[in-house]
Structure 1
Amino acid sequence: MSKRKNTVSLQVRIIHRYLGYFLAGIMFVYALSGIIMIFRDTDFLKTEVITEKKLAPNLTARDLAPIFKKGAKVIKQEGAVLYLRNGNYNQTTGLANIKKMQLPFVLDKMEKLHKANTNSPLYFLNIFFGVALLFFVFSAFWMYTPKMPVFKKGMYFAAGGIVLTIILLFV
């Protein structure tokens, strides 16, 4: 029986090791994009991009909301020009200048990967990555036998991580 346990333990360790190597790149991307996403409500690492669009003339602020998105609130109006938080719109000509803060191309792609949902083909990768991380969680407990001191010490660290997570969830 101990021979079989040892074999299962050894197989789990091998899978854990090579899956870790395989996922190293994507773990780097998820970690970096996760850190960057913490600052998504700021302009950290973003550059201003101004686009000029020809819209229909005589649109109201309500009509402009889907185009200007969060910056659709009219700040002031000078003649036919409406000034919004993130641009302006000329009601006579229909010409709109829209300012948007964007991450650099690669960081933007990384963030989209991180936020992929079922409408994106990337969600399969997210599911695979989530399942792989769950495997890491559970396989860590098969890395060593429960009799070994390193396993017992690992249980203290696991308990500490669980307690810290619970505290952070309710703060």
Structure 2
Amino acid sequence: MKKQKNIRAIHRDFGYFYLGLIISFAASGVLMNHRDSWHPEKYTVETKAIQTELLPEEQITEKYAENLAKEMGVDDKFRRSNVKKGMLKISFENTDVEIDIESGKGEIVSFKKTPLISQAMKLHKNTSNWWIYYSDIFGLSLITIAVTGALMISAGKHTFKRRGWKLALAGIVFPILFLLLLA
């Protein structure tokens, strides 16, 4: 009988601890699935208006666009450039440059990674459509299972209200510390 009580206690305490971990991974997974809609990994740090003279549209090359942005003070890793609907768009890792070809007016927008969210989202990068929908359902289900499971034990000294919340909090803090220390 004592052995069964020990097993139940271990199961209960690990369940409380992993409650925080499940919620952390599930929430960051749902955020990650919709990264193309609202870019949760980046937030705007600075937007700067610019004015410049450009070559005619047919003479604009990737190298020209990259050098132009560097001349304007963009010190970032170049990704790509394109001309679309009269706008020159130059994309860097953490900076976007957009310039109207006719007027030469534009802006430089610098981004910075969103703390914790950008690191947690690295754990969930997968772009197939079926996986996105499946993992949305799975993530929301994990949150529901974790919360309802934690609240099932309603009497005694080992309830969520008395003790479990501390272990759940430790389960949330653990991945945050892991990401901060190793990211």
TM-score (norm. length: structure 1) = 0.36
Which entry has the higher C-alpha Rg, 1 or 2?
1
Structure scoring higher RCO (CA < 8 A, sep ≥ 6) equals 2
